[in-house]
Structure 1
Amino acid sequence: MKYFKFLILTCFLGILFSCGGDDDICESGEGTPRMKIAFKSAESGKEVTVDSLYVAVDYGSGTKVQLGKTANVASRLIPLRVDDAPYTDIYVKTRLNGTESKVRINYTTKAVYVSPGCGIKKTYENLTTELITSTVVKKVEVDLNQIENEDKTNIFLLF
């Protein structure tokens, strides 16, 4: 019985001291931010809601990663490349079997140390866009040329 109490006490103390604080968990938006895109009408220049949107991204492997379909969307968050490449290619279409537009997002990256749990996050600066294929998207406007968080819209796609 004496050994059993010692074992229970040791397990309890081990559990008590193994609980870490919140400083090692990266949950409060401290990671690498995604780019926020919104949509405007090409005729009026006013923000619009797109009834269906299909987005794919080429992260450097040569294959497009489908980010899925969203319906009735006013803005969308898109993760950019985290390697040292100076651009990310984004493919946008409004119908499943429709034609897609290719938008190249050019930027420079900067690495910032956050914490032991989060590690290093990338921030994107000097954003410029290049509309490579303009089928669905007619024009691209840069609203904010740096990405430090996900709160503000960086790019507007004009349909």
Structure 2
Amino acid sequence: MMKYLYTLLVLTCLFLFGCERDDICTAETGTTPRLTIAFYSAENPEQLNPKNVFNCRVQGIGNEQTLPELSGAQSRQVISLPLKTTDTKTQYSIYNNYEQTDAGVVTGNEDIITISYITEQVYVSRACGFKTVFKNINITVNDDGDKWIKIIQSVNDNQILENENATNFNIFH
């Protein structure tokens, strides 16, 4: 009986201490980041006064799924947008004062932004695999004659998106 107990103890130790650091992908390990955009008042852009986008709704163009955190019509000062890793551009429809009537009629001011970039695959670890780093990011807004987005400003020149812990772009409205 003791022989089986020792064998079980040795096997348990080997199992618990046999894992290498690369075998586990923790939540703290950086994966493909989202693009973070903050909204500010266009009245005095030098002062960076945060300004809510009231009833803001964000929807990916060519993507019928909405992100749960961006699907409702809520006031927002910051949004984080995932970018396509298999393409060099991603488009989003961003509504200001979004409303949908019972009949399904959508009102509000819609601006469509196009985010263009270059992708690079970076090895993270054996357990986590690769993550995508986005370089040379540029955002433009389609001019439909009724833009609520006035200025789009990169926080850094030659914007590189490696993590989502900092704001990457400022939008003034």
* RMSD (Å) for aligned C-alpha atoms: 2.6
The structure 1 segments of at least 4 consecutive aligned residues displaced by more than 4 Å after TM superposition are 8-16
User: Where does 1:5-154 land on structure 2 (aligned, <5 Å)?
Assistant: 6=4, 13-19=10-16, 20=19, 23=22, 24-45=24-45, 46-50=48-52, 51-58=54-61, 62-67=62-67, 68-69=71-72, 71-83=74-86, 85-94=87-96, 95-97=98-100, 98-133=108-143, 135-144=147-156, 145-154=159-168
Amino acid at match of 2:154: V
SS in 2 for 1:17: helix
Shift of 1:12: 5.5
What is the CA–CA distance in structure 2 between the aligned matches of 1:11 and 1:79, rounded to whole Å? 46
Indicate the percent of aligned positions where both proteins have the same amino acid. Answer: 24
Alignment check: 8 A CA contact 2:59 2:92 kept: yes
Shift of 1:140: 1.9
Alignment check: 8 A CA contact 1:92 1:136 kept: no
Query: TM-score normalised to the size of structure 2?
Result: 0.73
Where in structure 2 are there 5+ consecutive unaligned residues? 101-107
Bigger drift between 149-158 and 105-114 goes to 149-158
Alignment check: 8 A CA contact 1:90 1:104 kept: yes
SS in 2 for 1:124: strand
What is the CA–CA distance in structure 2 between the aligned matches of 1:154 and 1:86, rounded to whole Å? 17
Amino acid at match of 2:112: K
Could you list the per-position Cα deviations for residues 74-103 of structure 1 after superposition, in whole angstroms to 9, with x for gaps in the alignment?
2121111111x1101011113233232100
Shift of 1:44: 2.0
Shift of 1:124: 0.6
Alignment check: 8 A CA contact 2:57 2:74 kept: no
Distance 1:29 1:102, change over 3 A: farther
Shift of 1:126: 0.6
Bigger drift between 44-53 and 146-155 goes to 44-53
